[in-house]
Amino acid sequence: MPPSSQLVIVANRLPVDRVELPDGSPGWRRSPGGLVSALDPVMRRNDGVWIGWPGGTEQDLEPFEDDGLKLVPVSLSADEVEEFYEGLSNATLWPIYHDVIAKPEFHREWWDSYVTVNRRFAEKAVQVAEEGATVWVHDYQLQLVPAMLREMRPDLRIGFYLHIPFPPAELFAQLPWRRQILEGLLGADLVGFQMAGGAQNFVRLVRQRVGHKTHRDLVYLPDGRTVRAAAFPISIDTEGYEALAREESVLDRAEEIRSAVGSPRKVFLGVDRLDYTKGIHARLRAFAELIQDGEIDVDDAVFVQVATPSRERVEQYRILREEIERLVGHVNGDLGRIGRPAIHYLHSSYPREEMAALYRAADIMVVTPYRDGMNLVAKEYVACRYDDDGALVLSEFAGAADELRQAWLVNPYDINGVKAALLDAYHASEKDAARRMKAMRKTVRKHDVSAWATRFLDGLSDVSPHEKSPRPA
């Protein structure tokens, strides 16, 4: 029997990864991540259940508990991983929702698989959700789940949150299944977006393409139900990050990193999943040109780029990896000296402690996505700079730019502009940098991830005021 609950989280991934335990048996390890730390306290207070894919293609996994959290796995077959996950989610929706930076692919079999898998998630949620429960569905992989749930279980209070941008109508209209997706989302009582612009795009599309009446952030359905679409910018566990950054072992490691890269005057840092939306190529090129122009000397500065492996079986990601590695090879070959590469490039993922040490070691954090729902890396860097030092160069096209106004904001398509901002941050006075960082730190302290989760759940109980069941605590 699966567990049951008044609060059900439905996300593509479970908050754990399959690992081999010391005795060789299979076990689970908590995957670090903002969403998990945000929802962990809410899950515990409400004895919630989390439904998700554990990764891999193991079939028939039973519900289990990990460190007090109730987890219900949804299995995917190898074909479904290819069609639902790598295909429709990451080679169709991901590029369309990110300004078509890469060309989206459309395949009808992928769509069929998306529908099948969404139904499997919805059916699991139906088994687990108690009468009048709150179900919170996450992200672009599961946009049909709200309507499927609504149909099977009209008693539920349903929320949906999109972690990536919601595109303008002109781009969304390319999707052969645009109407099904809009109708899928309309199954929710509250649809949350990172930015007000995403919510507006959604409401406009619903009016144009589905023909429902709308007013501001509300959609009026023919059956009398109301759906609200609004912005809930996500954040990080600010206190947790700051505490980590203050740990002695992390500070020692930060020193070690600086000396390992040759104790230059300034360390530039980039940390991203290796994804074409993140603008890694543009920023490395801008940095290399500054060396070439004689503005920066490799004895004085170094760029550390961590590119976490991601979606490695998707064609566009393989191409990107090759492009970046070719560029790094060129730059180091042309501009580096013995023991002094211009760029330290790491294609690897690291524990949270190492991330905090990197943030502490970096004088200039460079975040230049072409489009990004929020970008948590920018906020994590700010959270770790408790001395109010360090500089953030941030793309205008990251959701985070809305809140972190005091960063050096750049248009990543404008290489000269990026170069100018990198140089300006490089030469910034301590006073200027401190003034900017102080203001940004205030923002991330106030708007942390638990404030985000609370705001969303409060918003959900306002649109869907059930009489019988209380909102989750």
User: What is the binding site for ligand GDG (CB under 6 A)?
Assistant: 32, 34, 163-164, 234, 271, 273, 308, 349-352, 355, 372-377, 380
Q: Which two tokens stand for residue 345?
A: 């490039």
SS3 177: coil
The token pair at 126 is 């139906």
In angstroms, the first-to-last Cα distance of the chain is 25
At residue 191's C-alpha, the angle toward residues 51 and 459, to 5°, is: 95
Q: What is the nearest approach in angstroms of ligand GDG to the Cβ of residue 42?
A: 16
Instruction: Please choose, from the candidates 250, 257, 271, 256, the residue with its C-alpha nearest in 3D space to the C-alpha of residue 380.
Output: 271
Residue 149: count other Cβ atoms within 10 Å of its Cβ: 26
Residue nearer to ligand GDG on the CB measure, 133 or 274:
274
Question: Rounded distance, CA 237 to CA 240, Å?
Answer: 5
Least distance CB 145 / ligand GDG (angstroms): 18
Closest CB to ligand GDG among residues 75, 349: 349
Closest to ligand GDG by CB, 234 or 392: 234
SS3 (DSSP) at 293: coil
110 or 456, CB closer to ligand GDG?
456
Cβ at position 272, least distance to ligand GDG in Å: 7
For residue 96, how far is the Cα from the chain centroid?
A: 16
CB-based contacts of 411, cutoff 8 Å, min separation 6: 395, 396, 397, 417, 418
Instruction: Give the nearest distance from C-beta 351 to ligand GDG in angstroms.
Output: 6
In this structure, the number of other CB atoms found within 10 A of the CB of residue 170 comes to 9
- Contact residues for 333 (Cβ-Cβ < 8 A; gap 6+): none
163 vs 212, which CB is nearer to ligand GDG?
Answer: 163
CB of 51 to ligand GDG, least distance (A): 18
Specify the residue, 90 or 375, whose C-beta has the smaller distance to ligand GDG.
Answer: 375
Which residues in 309-334 are b (16+ Cβ under 10 Å) and which e?
Answer: ebbeebebbeebbeebeebbeebbee
Of the pair 81, 449, the CB lying nearest ligand GDG is at: 449
The residue among 146, 218, 154, 156 whose CA lies nearest residue 186 is 146
Q: What is the spatial distance between Cα 292 and Cα 205, in angstroms, rounded to a whole number?
A: 47
Which residue, 257 or 296, has its beta carbon nearer to ligand GDG?
257
**Shortest reach from residue 161's CB to ligand GDG, in Å:** 8
- Provide the β-strand partners of residue 307: 272
Task: Give the residue with the Cβ less far from ligand GDG, 83 or 372.
Answer: 372
Other C-beta atoms lying within 10 Å of the C-beta of residue 417: 15
Min CB(358)–ligand GDG separation in Å: 9
Structure tokens at 77: 């077959």
Q: Shortest approach of ligand GDG to residue 90 CB, angstroms?
A: 11
Could you tell me the smallest distance in angstroms from the CB atom of residue 280 to ligand GDG?
Answer: 12
263 CB burial (10 A radius; 0-12, 13-18, 19+): exposed
Q: What is the DSSP letter of 98?
A: T
